[in-house]
Chain A
């Protein structure tokens, strides 16, 4: 299956379609960190929120690059389950590369600072919380992007609608006082946690929430793929 993951990633990179989401991510991060310095955990929490739609879009592009007939050829060769898992794995790996860029980005541009006040978190703790916040976003974004992909959504219009609704809904439903925060991945709650008191129980709870949401959306993706044939 690693060969199929490689061929998927190679197709994504060689078509040049990886450039658009990468540029969008860099521009967004540039705007985010252009306003001044912040504590790492706080800055990374917001970075994870803004990266969510970018990673979902990147996933959709990666999965859509492969022609439908080529995807079927892969199914015949390795089986349906492996073909689907290989696509998700390739998207996950691509998302991790983007996350790595996002984690490194603020340091050369001076977007983050070390502890200033006595109560500020140390840089390693801030980095760890930032890494956690970004890793929480990866499965949720890959799941949303997969659900919006052509093989799942069918028509291009449906895919864009899923992506837009998912991206906007994740922010709107995550606002404080939302009536149905559980309908969205806990991006906003994670950002609030990294900026405030990150108790272990809260971290565990948000991790479970993010994984459960991702699992539900992955389930939807697999169901749609099955229905699409």
Chain B
């Protein structure tokens, strides 16, 4: 699939969100779309999926079957999980028996079996997100577009997402995925598309680069923001740990937040595969591997 000089804005006189995007993704490839909040990652993914039509330029060679997992699954619908998924399977062109089989298979695999007869508005955010994932996979897609697919998912399902991606790639499908949680470290062979100021640039694959590790000390209160910013810029945050030596009184807030780290200073450093929380020590060291393009 190719995006050729794609421009997009939401209103006739509004600012351009995408400006002259040129990109290509081939069968068997996965690309991670990175960038800060509001730069147009979701917009780019929706253009690729065929949800949004470019104002200028065009998208060519889009596979016939596209699976799209939106950032927020629309759970405000009067259906149970099973009825919704069966309906979407029928909409995707599956016969009754094939639809039932696909729904059973995917609800089992995504841990939704117990929720089949639960109405969509009653689902938690994470469970609703699984339904969103299931509807995209009911028919094997030639292009799978995942907009923050890890958002709200439990650990087991988070592990499952790269597995699903691998299956799509193995069937000669292509995958586009956005992520601001750093979960895409699970996709080391992925191409990395960076969206900034409406333009797209491609970073060299992390697999092709020598990685350097930088240790950064930040005030504890800014840990979450710093980690999020580093990840948004494409860096891989390896871990966050407390640093008692740097936690000098003048650098310490008047009353540090009651935190697991502060209460257990001897605890080993936090591994940061998950999102850091407010429960951080007063001063921390973040260990960062730079983005592939900056590691030269």
A sample of 8 inter-chain contacts (CB < 8 A) reads A7-B90, A11-B77, A15-B78, A68-B74, A69-B73, A69-B74, A75-B51, A80-B53
Chain A proximity of B222: nearest CB distance (Å): 34
Q: Could you tell me the dominant secondary structure of chain B's interface residues?
A: loop
Using known A-B contacts A76-B49, A229-B52, determine if residue A14 contacts B91 with beta carbons closer than 8 Å: no
Contact, CB under 8 Å: B74 / A226: no
> Please, what's the 1-or-0 string for A38-73, where 1 marks a CB less than 8 Å from any CB in chain B?
000000000000000000000000000011111011
Contact, CB under 8 Å: A73 / B72: no
Within 8 A of B (CB), among A76-116: 76-80
Contact, CB under 8 Å: B51 / A72: yes
Task: Kindly state whether residue B66 has any CB partner on chain A within 8 Å.
Answer: yes
Task: Kindly state whether residue B242 has any CB partner on chain A within 8 Å.
Answer: no
Task: Kindly state whether residue A160 has any CB partner on chain B within 8 Å.
Answer: no
Size of interface on B: residues with Cβ below 8 Å to A? 25
Q: How far is the CA of A227 from the CA of B50 in the complex (A)?
A: 15
Within 8 A of A (CB), among B66-86: 66-68, 70, 72-74, 76-79
Kindly list chain A residues whose C-beta atoms are within 8 Å of the C-beta of B78: 10-11, 14-15
Contact, CB under 8 Å: B88 / A73: yes
Contact, CB under 8 Å: B76 / A67: yes
Task: Kindly state whether residue A211 has any CB partner on chain B within 8 Å.
Answer: no
A11 contacts which of B66, B70, B79, B91 (Cβ < 8 Å)? Answer: B79
Task: Kindly state whether residue B87 has any CB partner on chain A within 8 Å.
Answer: yes
> Closest residue of chain B to A86, judged by CB?
B91
Q: How far is the CA of A100 from the CA of B204 in the complex (A)?
A: 64
Q: How far is the CA of A3 from the CA of B138 in the complex (A)?
A: 15
Contact, CB under 8 Å: B68 / A73: yes
Kindly list chain B residues whose C-beta atoms are within 8 Å of the C-beta of A74: 91
Task: Kindly state whether residue B127 has any CB partner on chain A within 8 Å.
Answer: no
Which residues of B approach A to under 8 Å, CB–CB?
10, 12, 46, 49-53, 66-68, 70, 72-74, 76-79, 87-88, 90-92, 135
Using known A-B contacts A11-B78, A67-B74, determine if residue A77 contacts B91 with beta carbons closer than 8 Å: yes
A76 contacts which of B53, B68, B79 (Cβ < 8 Å)? Answer: B68
> Closest residue of chain A to B47, judged by CB?
A229
Contact, CB under 8 Å: A4 / B91: yes
Kindly list chain A residues whose C-beta atoms are within 8 Å of the C-beta of B66: 76-77
Kindly list chain B residues whose C-beta atoms are within 8 Å of the C-beta of A11: 77-79
Q: How far is the CA of A66 from the CA of B78 in the complex (A)?
A: 10
Contact, CB under 8 Å: A3 / B87: yes
Q: How far is the CA of A173 from the CA of B70 in the complex (A)?
A: 45
Using known A-B contacts A4-B91, A6-B87, A14-B79, determine if residue A70 contacts B50 with beta carbons closer than 8 Å: no
Q: How far is the CA of A111 from the CA of B53 in the complex (A)?
A: 52
> Closest residue of chain B to A67, judged by CB?
B74
Q: A76-B68, A80-B50 are in contact. List 8 more A-B contacts (CB 8 A).
A: A6-B90, A7-B87, A10-B79, A15-B78, A70-B77, A72-B51, A79-B50, A229-B10
Contact, CB under 8 Å: A3 / B51: no
> Closest residue of chain B to A82, judged by CB?
B91
Q: How far is the CA of A15 from the CA of B120 in the complex (A)?
A: 13
Chain B proximity of A142: nearest CB distance (Å): 21
Q: How far is the CA of A72 from the CA of B88 in the complex (A)?
A: 12
Chain B proximity of A85: nearest CB distance (Å): 13
> Closest residue of chain A to B67, judged by CB?
A76
> Closest residue of chain A to B87, judged by CB?
A7
Q: How far is the CA of A80 from the CA of B53 in the complex (A)?
A: 10
> Closest residue of chain A to B51, judged by CB?
A72
